[in-house]
Structure 1
């Protein structure tokens, strides 16, 4: 803080050399006109153009004394006394008085503290005062947390125009359209005399044909408010036709009443080997949209094709780590910015690693094991994106390549792999707090090229190669009991495939079945204990890497088109 600021503030507090008084609700603030004029266009005009030079007392009616005190202290000493209680009132006052510096501080505070309790207030405030960036952020927060937000009292304050803007967007995340419909009924019941008439405008924006037939018939078609509205009946008949004809599963997804909303998460499949006979890698990325059961071609502009790399999602970017380019193992790391669609080189690993295992824990990327062309590795390292540096960590007990790892309850679990001499059944976990690896109970089966993922409070080890035989079997580890148990086997044998959890289901993607690379994809439902095939990838491949991205404001860039434009989407592939 400049010495002169301290001096002026001390004079203000002592009411010395002050040449004006700001009076707010009978509370007087002695000030120096030149100080406030330097921070506020309003006060500069008030003192120089809107009043007489002999005026000394200026009564302000627009704010409370507490808010005026914060504005004055900001002008004198730069103090930003912004909190949850005063931020909205303070922002409105700063906009009125043109105190831009403090207004910016209010916007920053609101953006950093968006919550389910205040997001609607902030959205409405930034619409009125035209703050496009924060308004967009607040809107995105609402639609991303719609299930919780629609249960709040603030939701009931929305205007019909604001409500329509929310429910018509594909970005709205709700467990199902039943949630949306019931939120609408709650909003109407808050003021039925005024809002009942809006039902004909609202209903066409609910994806009625995505509801279960039973719920649609009992809760929507037979709703008294809907039955009494002729326009609603036309909408209901159209939805009923879509449901009865089964059009939703094909091109019916482009009908407004059957159009799937954007998924909360998208599965990426990256790179891999596309030839069985020679080492030919690809740089193609495909994205799986679970809401439409479709794969989308994303990009092939990565610097170079690679396979057997690791891929993770961190801080809005996709990282591709290590791997093999068809000539040699790689230490390079590339970051794909999912907002700008651009690739960037970041710091390389300390060691070349193909067939490496990658995961994220506490904001850092861990690269474990792999193959450096001379030997299988027990070494591991971690990457800090803030410093763009890799750091070696403690080595594992075993050398492991063609292995997979996952994180669970603050630890990194790694299972199986190939040591250079044998296929492994051993497993261990790493604790960042102690920089130490601990062996756990071994799997029942030796597995190389397996998939490992944390799912439903357990560690799943799926498929792989047991020494020439590709496996369909799977087992799960309970960290509380240190025991493995068998779970339902996959339908197709595979090794060197991708594995991820999306929307509460476990997915296995591609791989090698012992004869050829495959594009087959299966998902596992833990509630039924059953595997089922879903839409295949566009390209059969093994040695691919997969990761799940979420929370993007531009999720539509990576999802299947919601209109009739079919470009970049593999719609004709069989299940």
Structure 2
């Protein structure tokens, strides 16, 4: 009879667990079968060398041949006894009981013994905790000291809640390097400089003997221009720490002299800015889908603001929906922004216009409704003038008999109360080739330039007309004689300039002489030679011409470049790039309340309190002319995770800079 084939029998898992418990029981009971004694604060803990060498610390002691191995006794000068006992037990069982009171001590021992698995357990415990302004400083301390991956998330929470955290006692344990880094971090612009001043005073007085030497450097890093003048003169200038150091006194005196000489003015609560809304961002996998017709249809709903005096970008409450070809205007008297999606160029008799109230931070919508017998509307542009909203619209007029008589263009006053729009002036008859541009002069006169006007398209030649509508007098004037068409028209001083970028001549209309003149000069040169960009957004503020984004002619990809041309200096300069590649965005100049301009485009505060969640939305929209209207009202509790993903600012909902190596510099922030 042949021998049966060999088999392996038994239960390895149960035996391993039994052996583990057996050895752990010996350690817990200080059994004589243990072959090494650990002495911690005069307390003896018996263990087995065979288990201890699982961690590098004890393995090095065993291999070194020192007296610890020969005597079988190791004197440990690190950690508290309960924490050491937890760490040793972890080597036996792979489990540890961790509480908020003991996690710091356990991390200290685990790091010293190089038990990485125990450190991971401590990190998991910290991650399971609810992070608050009361505990995040201590959590950041632990993560920084012991190089835990959880540090980036805790540190970002600290930066996102900094004003509240600076009121906590734990914040006074920050080192001078950490405080300086906070003061000089441009993304923390949402924190008022007065709050930073009060914090460094409190931080210095917490340990005045050792910290007084750091105060001058910290104080001189403050931007005193952003602190009210009354506070500067009545509070800061007389502070003992400021009066004690000459550098601090000079820093205050420099700002006071600028106030006296008029170089700076007291903050009026308004920031001059340029808004860029909607447009198309970068298409994902553009190389794969480049042959498809919809490759450029990735519209965005971002509303970005460029703060002129500070050369930085901010993000306002996003548009109610994505807009590929928006047109936008700002009414300074109402402090409201109006925007329309020109992607759907034609409508039957009514269309929605969206309104953003800057004071209430609220998006609403209202209907632009054509008068009776006016159908098939096409909105060319909207402008705000003298506190009213006007629109240049083309539509068909139907007589009483039902015949379609003409296709005409009008200047209409748009009513926000739901009543039908009022036709102010009939401008001209048009055809499918007619083009129109408009601008506002001195918030009183609307200038309208149109080319290829007339009911019948002309194959040869062209007909160009120029109108000026005085909103105060409700009168229209035509000054078409001598005018030529170009795609750019803007106001400079008391003149209207018509040109295009790179052209070696321009047309200028004087509001004083009411005449056109041809000027042989390159009023607006290209930013670069050759200039290989199209579909860029542009706007003039009367002194400068701004260009944002665009699409590369060769690459066919969106770009994020931003440039400015000064008419007086006749020079181009680069500005801070757009937060995302963008083209075909709508632009307008705006006076932005300072409370909306505080946050940096990468503001950590906005990660936890997105701009959309701080705004109100009460808007309506219509997908198709025959569809029912859709109501959209999410109040102020919008917390979707894809706020930034849909806008293309961040690809995964988390800022890319959190993963940058530069944030490793914060590891030694705490004492």
**More strand by percentage:** 2
Please give the TM-score of this superposition, normalised by the length of structure 1: 0.49
**Over alpha carbons, which structure has the higher Rg?**
2
Q: TM-score normalized by structure 2?
A: 0.43
Greater relative contact order (Cα 8 A, min sep 6): structure 1 or 2? Answer: 2
